[in-house]
Structures are given as structure tokens and as C-alpha cells.
Amino acid sequence: MSISYIAVRNECRRRMIEASGINPENDLQVENYVFDPKRKKAWVSEFCIGGEEIQLSSSRSRISSFLIQYDICVQETSGTEKTETISESIARAFDVSDPKKSILQTAEAEMIVKSVKRESKKMTGGFVKTVLLTLDVVEKS
């Protein structure tokens, strides 16, 4: 069997949306979809970087260092308070010190949040606060 990257991404996305309060229909930029940020004050860009899958047995596999990145973006005129608020709520939702927040489940796998890193940067015409999740994903037997 193989671990579904989509299932892992979707479970993390569900929690991120719930924590941040963003509207996924209007304020979430994901791969393979057209998104125009010009009229947005704030939005979240999601990147699922994945990791290397290792076969543990004939029926189980593991992905260590599965990376999911959320970039919280705002236009320059909006200031950075919104990026700070949203990034903090996302980071708290995946808190590694709290087992209720650091362990996620799908029907086929268990994900353990190993680290949550936050970083600020300037982009052309705005600001970005990045939240990078590192997960350990183990297929259920």
C-alpha cells in the first residue's frame, strides 16, 4: 500500500482552515487552481512538499519529513498584524507540545507533527509570514 499525499494534505488543510478562520473558497491559494490576489487583503498559499516514503513491511510504509508550508500573505497597505494573527493561530493548531494538536489521523495513516517553524519575509507589494510543518506519517496496519 501507499500513503496518500492528498489525504495527509487535506487533513492538515482542514485543521488550518478551522484554526485560521479563512474562507477556503476565496482566501486559499492551492496548486493547480487559478488564484488572483490583486483584490485580496490577506490570503493563504498552501504548498505540500511531501517526503520520501520508506517501506516498513509489506503492508506498512512511513514518510518522515513530510513538509507542508502555509504562506500567509497580505498586501503592503494592509500591514503585518493579520499575518501575525493567522500564523499564530495555525501554529497553535499544530502545537508539538500538545498530543491532541500534534497528532492527526486519516483513515489510512497517523501523522505526528515534529516541528512548526514560523518566518517573516517581504514580498513584492506585501508581506509573508510562513508556517512550515514537518510531519512524520505512518501508515496504519
Instruction: Report the C-alpha gap between 42 and 17 in whole angstroms.
Output: 14
User: Over 90: is that where the pLDDT of 125 sits?
Assistant: no
What pLDDT does residue 141 have?
77
- Helix and strand numbers, DSSP H then E, in the chain: 4, 6
Residue 96 contacts residue 113 (beta carbons within 8 Å): yes
CATH number at residue 110: 3.30.2000.20
Residue ranges making up the domain that contains 65: 5-139
Residues linked to residue 104 through DSSP beta bridges, in sequence order: 111
Q: Grid coordinates 502555509 are at which residue?
A: 70
- Residue 53: Cβ within 10 Å count: 16
Q: What is the pLDDT of residues 19-51, one digit of tens each?
A: 999 999 999 999 888 888 888 888 999 999 988
Domain count along the chain: 1
Q: What is the pTM of this model?
A: 0.91
Cell representation of residue 61: 510504509
Cell representation of residue 32: 493547480
What pLDDT does residue 46 have?
96
Confidence of residue 10 (pLDDT cuts 50, 70, 90): very high
Cell representation of residue 64: 518522515
